[in-house]
Structure 1
Amino acid sequence: MTLFLAYCLLAIGQAAIGVNVVAGKFLIDDGVPIHVYLCGRFMASTVLMMILMYLLKESLLVKERNISHLSKRDWFFLSMQALTGGFLFNVLFYWGIQYTTAISAGIISSALPAIMALCAFFFLGEKLNKAKYLGIMLAMVGILVINLDNTNHSTHVTGSFLGDFVILISMVPEALYSIFNKFTNQKVTPLGGATVVNFMIFLMLLPLGAYEFVSNDLSGIVLSSWVLLLLTGFASMFFFWFWSRGLLHVPASSAAIFTSVLPVSTTVMAWAFLHEQFGLYDAIGMCLVLFSIAIGTGWLSGLLSKKNNRAIS
């Protein structure tokens, strides 16, 4: 796999989360309980990935490693991926957004690239060079600019400290997911590991989802909403599969820059499907995010060096 393809997979993976954010907002507003939505989504993604593993004849273990089974340590890190990036992030995020505005949540989410880069530095010992520092800062500024436009046109009430704090805390397990993934991605295949992790997330959410399913009147929810809920399983599949594949070839500190694709994709899809306003600040912010990816991945410096070499020759 080329480095460019790995970058594309990381970007698509984050865009897939944006799909579920927009779809989840629509479904929850339509009356689907939060944990019913999450439980159904991960059930669908698990089934889809099991089918895909069967069709592609994909195994759980990497054949080139010549290992017959996973150790207790490997199963621990797979469980931690499910607990952090699946269960804790989703439960905390959707809990917090009930007590704050979507605008506040978007602004706080701009801290994700920095949190993930710091986690990669402390837990994996990955060094942050000047290009990565600049890329992360530009990504955060770009997302903040996007949210300035939302602030100017907001009719929502202001967020509470509790909601804002919970949203911020939810960014930590989201960042830790990629760190724990690095401990297992040399032993398990991206699709096999994603399938196991999604199944673990489903089991963790099942008690909450079952309780909400039996304690709420869901008769008013139309069939199309249930179909959309099942379709969000595809987006979850693409995130966990593509993000794991990309992380095989990209350091976590570099992948951190691509987490800025999430709020950008969410803004575009909210404009296209939820008819939310798209303004000048959104366009400027997206340009800054794309520029941050070009700098943080070294693509821009490589392009400039090639031009200089041609000019000298």
Structure 2
Amino acid sequence: MLLQARWAKFAICMPLIAVFIWSLNITVTRYVTDYISPVSISFYRWLIAFLILTPFMLKTVWQQRQLIGQHWQQLAVLSAFGMVLYQGLGYTAAHYTTATNMGIINAFIPVFTIAVAFFILKDVPNRYAILGCAISFTGLLFVIAQGDFSQLLNMGGHFGDILMIFAVFFYAFYGVFLKKWQLKLPLLLSLYVQIFFAVLYHLPFVLYLGIDAINSANAPSVFYAAIFPSLIAPLVWMLAVQHLGPNRTSIFMNLMPVFTAIIAYFWLAEQWMFYHSVGTVMAITGVILAQRK
């Protein structure tokens, strides 16, 4: 009984650890913009993650080669949306907006997922979902406009936020396709094959745009991105889903704007403004409403 109680407490900590790692990665993404290009850090991130996993996964890949052959096209699509478009646009957005804004916009993933599911899965949202989406979207506009909706006309001043919205929108596709296909693959194997495709997708960009060298200024950020948010956080999150269930686990994602803002405040000296509070409350309220049956 004592062991079960301790394990239950640790299970609650797992999604907190994952969300903290992802929140810290948003701040790292903003911090490292002066030291490495978006294409370079994105490429290195997935290449290093791939090299780390390969010794442990080669045997499994060979044993499951027929299963991978059946689903490689879906895995390639998932990689394009979840690892290349989402992460790549996020790294680019970091050059034009704050880590605090990026963390808040990430909180809208569940709302964007509802919208995408409507068109792809024909999953008609109920009235709570529609109301929740409306509240969340208004909160999103409030954050982008910095509390003054008239500023929305100055779209050039919100380029980074717009890029981040597109990134979140593409990640919504990732989640919907996962639900649609329900791939019968071990989670770690699915992650590994998606990382492989992510490395391949980056090669044309690296050849065309060039690549920055890893040096003392950017190496800690590169290796953090490759190890913690790419490998450790997804595995911890998967374990949390297994032990707590998807609904209980997903609630912890609402903490990402708060974690990101706190880290960015102490590390990057970013200020938490009134419109950040309003937008975050509206985002969380909208997500909670949208999850009601």
TM-score (normalised: structure 1): 0.65
- Shift in alpha-carbon separation, 1:148–1:173, aligned structure 2, 3 A: closer
Structure 2 counterpart of 1:194, from 191, 196, 216: 191
Name the counterpart of 1:306: none
Q: Residue 183 of structure 1: CA displacement?
A: 4.4
SS in 1 for 2:115: helix
Q: Which residues in structure 2 correspond to 1:217-296 (within 5 Å)?
A: 218=213, 223=216, 225-233=218-226, 234-238=228-232, 240-241=234-235, 250=246, 262-296=256-290
Q: Does 1:18 align with 2:15?
A: no
Letter in 2 for 1:228: S
Q: Is the 8 A contact 1:142 1:286 kept in 2?
A: yes
Distance 2:283 2:56 in 1: 33
Structure 2 counterpart of 1:85, from 82, 87, 97: 82
Distance 1:35 1:148 in 2: 28
Q: CA RMSD in A?
A: 4.6
Distance 1:284 1:104 in 2: 13
Letter in 2 for 1:276: E
Letter in 2 for 1:176: F
Distance 1:162 1:285 in 2: 18
Distance 1:11 1:125 in 2: 32
Structure 1: gaps (5+ residues): 302-313
Structure 2: gaps (5+ residues): 1-9
Q: Residue 270 of structure 1: CA displacement?
A: 1.5
SS in 2 for 1:275: coil
Name the counterpart of 2:125: 128
Distance 2:11 2:291 in 1: 11
Name the counterpart of 1:307: none
Q: Is the 8 A contact 1:41 1:230 kept in 2?
A: yes
Q: Deviations along 1:153-189, whole A, 9 cap, x unmatched? A: x9xx972687676554444322111122224544112
Percent identity of equivalent pairs: 21
Higher relative helix content: 2
SS in 1 for 2:66: coil
Letter in 2 for 1:226: A
Aligned positions, number: 276
SS in 1 for 2:270: coil
Letter in 1 for 2:229: A
Q: Deviations along 1:55-101, whole A, 9 cap, x unmatched? A: xx9x579x9xxx88326552111000111121123334444665x54
- Shift in alpha-carbon separation, 1:189–1:115, aligned structure 2, 3 A: same
Q: Residue 277 of structure 1: CA displacement?
A: 0.7
Name the counterpart of 2:112: 115
Name the counterpart of 1:28: 33
Q: Deviations along 1:232-287, whole A, 9 cap, x unmatched? A: 12112245445667788648xx96x8766554443332223212112444344444
Residue range with higher mean Cα deviation, 12-21 or 275-284: 12-21
SS in 1 for 2:201: helix
Q: Residue 297 of structure 1: CA displacement?
A: 3.8
Q: Is the 8 A contact 1:104 1:164 kept in 2?
A: no
Q: Residue 296 of structure 1: CA displacement?
A: 3.8
Q: Deviations along 1:9-45, whole A, 9 cap, x unmatched? A: 777656544332221221122x212211111111233
